[in-house]
With several copies, the nearest count.
Chain A
Amino acid sequence: MQDVLSLAAQNLLSPIVLFFVLGVGAALARSDLTIPEAVAKGISLYLLFAIGFKGGVAVSNNGIDLTLGMTLMAGVILSFVLPFIAFALLRWISQLSRTDAAAVAGHYGSISIVTFVAATSVLQSSGIVAEGYMVAVAAAMEAPAIFSALLLVSSGGKGRMDGALIREILLNGSIVLLVGSFFIGWITGAEGMAKIEALIVSPFQGVLCLFLLDMGLVAGRGLKQGRAVLRPGPLVFGMLMPVIGSCLGLAFALIIGLSLGGAVLLMVLAASASYIAVPAAMRVALPEANPSVYLTLSLGVTFPFNLTLGIPLYLAMASAVHGG
């Protein structure tokens, strides 16, 4: 317990969390600070490029084993199953309509890549190594939850899924860049890394600070717009659901036999909620659902929760039960 708290305190005072807090504060104080859309998009491309490539190089260095396939499958199952749990929980503790609840649920099966990156940083500064292929697992977990969400409303005749949408979901830019960079990292290995290391390794933390500043600004502005959503039920959901997800993630990790680092990352993936891929898919397939509900919960509640308290908590949980 002591440890969790000191870890959490240390995490709260890391530059990335502080820049996120700065962003939220600036937004709430109605400062006009903004990161231009193109710059924010550029930074997020950089982050995907860097973590994909690093993951691939790690796989190339350490080789792969059976756990890769199992972890990918675990990720897909988690992404597919979590929305059903989330939906049940939401219907129980909130007054959200079926449609809104299904849309929210879809977000919690999918993942937040920035939360994943932040967790990677925490692991790194704690000197914990994780399986390089976890970024591939992240990519694999983006989409299945969307299908679950649409299943959840299909009985009501809502939710339109067509070929174009499926292609859009599976080939969305983030997934393609992440997976593509992963394979290129894998193919080019240490030699490739030597060439582009100066761009993707050392400046990474600094760039992440800027990105979290932007996330803070966006989350803060979203909170102001969506404060109507923040009744007790949804609020509790937004902090309880990630913990539930992380427990399931931990269970899978133990079964598969992931390393401590890998276990934490799978927990974080299960715990985090999407705010890019799933909202876009929902706008197309389920336009009746209210975006401010799912965006406020995912980005305004769950993302900050994971970033500040969640990650240290999951690390503590995993450390407690993990063999070593």
Chain B
Amino acid sequence: MEKHDAKRVAIIIEAIMESRLRQALEGAGVTGFSVLPVLGGSGRSGSWSRDDTVSRGGGMVQVICIIRPEKLDRMLEAAFEVVDRHIGVVTISDCQVLRADRF
């Protein structure tokens, strides 16, 4: 099975910022990503859990983006723009992908 190198970017960000991040990604020509729910967590700004958040929209989501290595930097810049002043985590790791024609 043919595999192609790619990068996997995972961005944990406040749910309320999701639409802005989506737009920034699309603006940077990133057409493929998925959004996963996050139930709770802990960080410098304290610990939280979806069931305790007062304004129920107050949780976080994880946006996962599989991307060709050459597109990575442009994407990170676009994402950074949105994440910048906000809480959240951005990680990058190596992966391989099947069906690379789809990217």
A299 to B53, CA, bound (A): 11
Say whether, besides A287-B85, A288-B85, A279 and B46 are in contact (CB < 8 Å).
no
Residue A280 is within 8 A (CB to CB) of chain B in the complex: yes
Tally of chain B residues near chain A (CB < 8 A): 21
Q: Which of B19, B50, B85 makes the CB contact (< 8 A) with A37?
A: B50
A222 within 8 A of B: yes
Q: Which one of B51, B54, B87 lies within 8 Å of A279 (CB-CB)?
A: B54
Could you say which residues of chain A place their CB within 8 Å of the CB of B56? 37, 40-41, 276
Nearest residue in B to A164 (C-beta to C-beta)? Answer: B20
Q: Taking A225-B46, A292-B46 as contacts, is the C-beta distance between A287 and B51 under 8 angstroms?
A: no
Q: Given A287-B85, A287-B86, A225 and B54 touching (CB < 8 A)? A: no
Q: Are A275 and B52 in contact (CB under 8 A)?
A: no
Q: How far is the CA of A295 from the CA of B56 in the complex (A)?
A: 12
Q: Given contacts A225-B46, A288-B85, A292-B46, are A283 and B16 in contact (CB under 8 A)?
A: yes
Residues 17 to 41 of chain B near chain A (Cβ within 8 Å): 17, 19-20
With A287-B85, A292-B46 already in contact, the answer to whether A275 and B54 are too (CB < 8 A) is yes
B20-A218 in contact (CB<8A): no
Is B58 part of the contact surface with A, judged by Cβ < 8 Å? Answer: yes
A284 at the interface (CB under 8 A from B): yes
The secondary-structure label for the interface of chain A is: helix
For residues 213 through 251 of chain A, which have their beta carbon under 8 Å from a beta carbon of chain B?
A: 217-219, 221-222, 225
Chain B nearest CB: distance from A28 CB in Å?
13
Question: Which of B16, B19, B52, B86 contacts A280 (CB under 8 A)?
Answer: B16
The smallest beta-carbon distance between A322 and chain B, in angstroms, is: 34
A37 neighbours in B (Cβ, 8 Å): 50-51, 56
Interface size, chain A (Cβ < 8 Å) = 26
Q: Contacts A287-B85, A287-B86: A279 and B58 contacting too (C-beta < 8 A)?
A: yes
Residues of B within 8 A of A14 (CB): none
Q: How far is the CB of B40 from chain A (nearest CB, A)?
A: 11
Q: A287 to B54: give the CA distance in the assembly, Å.
A: 17
Inter-chain contacts of A275 with B (CB < 8 A): 54-55
Contact B55 A279 (CB under 8 A): yes
B57: CB under 8 A from chain A? yes
Assess the B57–A280 pair: CB atoms within 8 A: yes
Chain B residues near A35 (CB-CB < 8 A): 51
Q: Is the CB of A280 within 8 A of B17?
A: no
Residues of B within 8 A of A284 (CB): 16-17, 20
A165 → chain B closest CB, angstroms? 9
| A266-315 interface (Cβ within 8 A of B) | 275-277, 279-280, 283-284, 287-288, 291-292, 295, 299
Contacts of A288 in B (CB 8 A): 85
Tell me, yes or no, whether A154 is within 8 Å of chain B by CB.
no
In the bound assembly, the distance between CA atoms of A137 and B54 in angstroms comes to 24
Chain A, Cβ-Cβ closest to B59: A37
Q: Which residues of chain A have C-beta atoms less than 8 A from B85's C-beta?
A: 287-288
Measured between beta carbons, the chain A residues less than 8 angstroms from B51 are: 34-37, 217
User: A299 to B54, Cβ gap below 8 A?
Assistant: yes
A287 lies within 8 A of B52 (CB): no
Would you give the shortest CB distance from B42 to chain A, in whole angstroms?
11
A41's nearest neighbour on chain B, judged by CB, is: B56
Complex formed: what's the CA distance from A218 to B59 in Å? 14
Q: How far is the CA of A277 from the CA of B58 in the complex (A)?
A: 11
> Does the CB pair A287–B87 fall under 8 Å?
yes
Chain A to chain B contacts (Cβ below 8 Å), 10 pairs: A37-B51, A164-B19, A218-B52, A221-B52, A279-B55, A284-B16, A287-B85, A287-B87, A291-B45, A295-B54
Q: Which residues of B contact A (CB under 8 A)?
A: 14, 16-17, 19-20, 45-48, 50-58, 85-87
Chain A contact residues, CB within 8 Å of chain B: 34-37, 40-41, 164, 217-219, 221-222, 225, 275-277, 279-280, 283-284, 287-288, 291-292, 295, 299
A-B pairs with lowest CB-CB distance, top 9 = A221-B52, A34-B51, A276-B55, A279-B55, A287-B86, A287-B85, A295-B54, A275-B54, A299-B54
